Structure 1
């Protein structure tokens, strides 16, 4: 039985919260194969060990500087990102020849699905309006209507969109999904390709944005598309901030065209205290916490990495490989 030795370089970004920090013990727990020996280096982003990186077969990190890998990562066979969004790493011209970039897409579904369902229920009950009224010491006892039979459109029906749909289905919503293939899905009453979006928006009560950020989706939901939503409808963005035109969304809320919105993602985070977003009416802000779990998040990310190391050893296709043409 041949034993293989791999060098793994782990970079933890300076200032990362404990829930996102990767340790040597976690790497070893993710790769428990008798025929694999591991030589692991763990560094912070402000404490580069270029010699160790040059020897590494695998790199694990998030928010990393691609120029550093271009300069020192010639021997890398796999770069694994402990997050799902990879738009900041495109194009992939910094990857060594033959190397792959993988992400942690899929690990967010459990918590993000629950958060997404909660957001839609809160929008139905007018909670953003109640929060605005509370800030203004205003008592407004306008009643909401039941959610059964209303229509939710989920733009982006990957693992996160599926999870949201699954948790909403018991509430009797009519679920319309949009994904690139447009192929039917058992969790959606209807499924459409992105090209049909304009025809779908006028009958939507709740719009859930859960797609990747690509060149095709950047500023997709602009003034024109938001104006197609019925007056009194609502929006929840759990994707990436730039997918929704911020100025157009704020204007739609201030004008009363949209009844409410819940936003978990912004182009620039954290939001400065001078941001106008804090004072937009009928808006609830959550600080990019919808999908990440305080316990077990990194372990789930590393499970994908560990499985890919084992697949690589067996000569099998890797999971979660980023396609630079698709942008995710």
Structure 2
């Protein structure tokens, strides 16, 4: 008889880099795995008997109603992603259960990807891409990254990872956070209530905050108008944080020199979306932060640590705050 049961639910096939295998769970747990029963099921073919006995759940994109009905013994529900907006509000959580996420695992790849993208935006690469399509030679020069002010709306694990890589290149780092506080890699910090002041400083705006009720539509027409003429924008947060229609207008009328989107209101982005053809817009298919190798293992390291903490009665990591929304 094992001491506890872990129920793993996969919405994607085994060949997906997001697939969580029983072996991956066991490897993450280490010696603790000897006391665990691990059940792995497809989201389309659940094992309700096992779910009703389970103490821990691992999955992503899961059906909250299913967990509310069949997961009454669950203590930890771990999401193998950072964004948890789809699970709000947390009124579905079984009594005694907590939701944890995988925030923090995206910093390594997302930081490097963000560095690449900010440098491309500041160097005018969207314009060069557009000119290549038009067979047009335009050799206007850009100023160096050390002359730029990069404003981050959201300065958690992802935003600060990008800033850490930019700072040695001489860029000025400005952070906008809910508390008005940030780590040492920010040169200047504003609270969200002073967002307008921060935006007026931006040569490049990096949107890297969670999607919550208070951040939905946070960057709209009025906010984009506050950016420096010829500024650029990179959204690596969630699509609905930025008003896409307002962004398109700012690109078409030249107020923004370029933009890059890795997230969208609807994903996958429909083939007939206007965005594909907007000048000076770079589109990435939500691939900035996830690694083809080792992503699941990093998510499971948080889960395994929390199992150990739970068994020892210690506070959990990455516990989702129902009030904050992340």
TM-score by shorter chain over 0.5: yes
What count of residue pairs does the alignment treat as equivalent? 326
Q: Give the whole-Å Cα distance in 2 for the aligned partners of 1:110 and 1:191.
A: 23
Q: Which segment drifts farther, 147-156 or 14-23?
A: 14-23
**How far did residue 184 of structure 1 move?**
4.6
How is 1:291-302 mapped onto 2 (pairs within 5 angstroms)?
A: 291-302=289-300
1:27 partnered with 2:39: no
Runs of 4+ with >4 A deviation? none
Decide which moves more: 133-142 or 223-232.
133-142
Q: 1:13, 1:62 within 8 Å by CA — same for their partners in 2?
A: yes
Check conservation: 1:14, 1:46, Cα contact below 8 A.
Answer: no
Q: Distance in 1 between matches of 2:15 and 2:63?
A: 19
Structure 2 residue aligned with 1:7: 5
Paired residue for 1:289?
Answer: 287
After TM superposition, the structure 1 = structure 2 runs for residues 223-302 of structure 1, keeping only pairs within 5 Å, are 223-302=221-300
Q: Cα distance 1:184–1:299, how it changes in 2: closer, same or farther (>3 A)? A: closer
Q: 2:139 aligns with which of 127, 138, 141?
A: 141
Q: Matches of 1:322 and 1:17 in 2, distance apart?
A: 29
1:71-102 CA-to-partner distances (Å, cap 9, x unmatched) read: 21111111000000000000111111010000
Alpha-carbon distance between aligned partners in 2 of 1:262 and 1:129, rounded to the nearest angstrom: 12
TM-fit CA distance, 1:146: 1.4
Shift of 1:136: 2.4
Structure 1 position 325 matched with structure 2 position 323:
yes
What is the TM-score when the length of structure 2 is the normalising length? 0.97
Give 1:183 deviation, angstroms: 2.0
Q: How does 1:98-247 map to 2 (within 5 A)?
A: 98-247=96-245
* CA apart distance, 1:158: 0.6
What is the CA-CA distance between 1:16 and the residue it aligns to?
A: 7.5
Deviations 1:32-68 (A, max 9, x none): 2358511111111111111111111111000111111
**Higher mean C-alpha displacement, 229-238 vs 10-19:** 10-19
Is the 1:5–1:36 contact (alpha carbons within 8 Å) kept by the matching residues of 2? no
CA RMSD of aligned residues (A): 1.4
Counterparts of 2:254 and 2:92, CA distance in 1: 46
CA contact (8 A) 1:4 1:35 kept: no
Q: CA deviation at 1:138?
A: 2.3
Work out the CA distance in 1 between the residues paired with 2:190 and 2:45.
48
Q: Name the CA distance, whole Å, in 2 between partners of 1:44 and 1:325.
A: 31
Instruction: Give me the whole-angstrom Cα distance separating, in 1, the residues matched to 2:15 and 2:254.
Output: 38
CA deviations on 1:158-179 (whole Å, 9 max, x unpaired) are: 1111111110011111111111
1:135 Cα deviation from its structure 2 partner: 2.1
Q: Are the aligned partners of 2:129 and 2:280 in contact in 1 as well (CA < 8 Å)? A: yes
Point out the more displaced range, 177-186 or 285-294: 177-186
SS in 1 for 2:206: strand
Change (3 A) 1:60 1:184: closer
Q: CA separation of 1:120/1:268 partners in 2, compared to 1, >3 Å: closer, same or farther?
A: same
Residues 103, 313 of structure 1: alpha-carbon distance in 2 compared, 3 angstrom cutoff:
same
Residue in 2 that maps onto 1:309: 307
8 Å CA contact 1:238–1:265 kept in 2: the answer is yes
CA distance in 1, matches of 2:283, 2:56: 37
Contact 2:10 2:20 in 1 (8 A): yes
Deviations 1:273-309 (A, max 9, x none): 1011101110000110000011100000000000000
Residues of 2 paired with 1:284 and 1:249: CA distance? 13
**Structure 1 stretches lacking a partner, 5+ long:** none
